[in-house]
Chain A
Amino acid sequence: MSINPLKIWRNEKSRQIIIQIIVLIIFGWFISWLAGNVSGNFERLGKDLSFEFLFIPAGYDINQYLISYNNRDSHLRAAIVGLLNTGLVAICGIVIATIFGLFLGVLRLSKNWLANRIAYWYVEFTRNVPILLHILLWHGIIINTLPHPKQAIDIFDVSYLTNRGFYIPKPIAESGIGLFYLFTVIAIIFAVLFSRYSKKRQELTGKQFPVFWINLMVIILFPCIALAFNNFPISLSIPELKGFNFRGGLHLSPELIALTFALAIYTAAFIAEIVRAGILAIHKGQREAAESIGLKPDRVMNLVILPQARRVIIPPLTSQYLNLTKNSSLAIAIGYMDLVATLGGISLNQTGREMETMVLVLLIYLCISLSISSLMNWYNYRVKLVDR
C-alpha cells in the first residue's frame, strides 16, 4: 500500500505535526547557529563564561546605599545595593504617582471647566514628552538653578533645598522605641479585624460603624500613647550648615529626587487617564439607579461606582507600575546607582564580562515583571465578573 503524500498534507492533524517539525528544525538550527557563534567568539577572544567575577571586590564607590557597602565589597553586593536603589525609587515613585494620578483623574472628571482644562493640558504635556527628558530636566533644574548650600532655600529652619540635594530632618530612634513599633502593629491588626467585623455586621444587621474614622483614630492614637508612655524615645536630627555643606539630617541626593519626581509626575499623567477611563466606563444607569434609591453622593461613589471601576482600573494600573519600575533604569543617564548602573554599567566595564552581567540584569528585570504580572493575572481572575 502506497502512502499518498497529498493525503497526509490534507489531514489537519498530520499537517500540523509536519509544520511544527519544520518550525522546530528551523528554530533549532537558528539557536545552534547563535550558540556556535557565541562559543566561537568566546574562543577567539580567550574568554569563558563564568560568574566568579561576582565575588571579587568591586572597587568602586556608590554614593547611596541602603545596606552597608564600601568599595572593597564584592560585585554581587554592589549589584544588590543597586537593586535596592531601584526598589527605593520604584516604591517612592509608585506611591507619589498613585496619589497624584488619582488627584488628577478626579480633576479631569470634575465639572469645573477651569480645573478640568488645567488637568487636561497637564496630562497632555506630561505624557507627550519622553520620560528621559523629564528626568534630565528636573535633574538640571536642581543642579543648575537651586542655590549653593550657603544660600540654601530654607523651609522653617529644618529643611534645606540646595543644588547638592535636599536636607530634611531625620528621626532617630532611642531605647524604648520597641513599644512604639509593637503598638503600631497592634493598631494595624485591630483596624483590619475591625473593618472585617463591621462589614459582617452590616451584612447581618444592616447597621454601620463609621469604620474609616474609628480606624484612623486608632492608628494615630495607639502609637502616640506608646510614645508618651516611654517619654517620647524619638529625637530629630536636624541638618545644620557646617562649613560648605550640611551635617546631620537626612540627605536626599539630586539624582534620587529628580528620578523619583520625574517618574512620579510622568506616570501620574497616565494614571489620571486610566482612572478617568475606568470611572467613565461605568454605565450611566448605575449612578442613576444608585441616586434614585437615595444613596448620598459619597456612598454612590464608594458602594456602586468604585467597586466596578476597580475592575477596569487595576490591570492597566499595574502595568503602569511595571513601566515605572522599568523606566527607573534610565537612572543611568543622571548617575543614580541603580541595578543597570552598577551591574550593567560599572561592573560590566570593569570586568569586561558583557555576556554575564547583561544576562543577569535581563533575568532580574524579567523576574520582577513576570512575578508582578502573574500576581495581576491572579487578581484579574479573582475579580472577574461571574457570568451566568
Chain B
Amino acid sequence: MDTPLIEALARQAGLERALAEFPDCVMAAAKQAIGRSSEINTPTSPAVEPWPPMKVGGGA
C-alpha cells in the first residue's frame, strides 16, 4: 500500500478529518477499493455499454 498516495487521495476526497481521527479506517477503505477493478473482465467490445443505459423521456 502506498500510504502517501492514499493520504493524498483521501485529502482530495475531503476526508481530512477521517484521516486524522480514523487513519486505520481510511487505509482499510482504500485497500478495499484499489485494484478491485482488476478482478473484473472489462468488456473488450466497444459495443458493450454501461448498465443502466441512458434513456430519455417520451417527449412533449
Partners in one complex: no
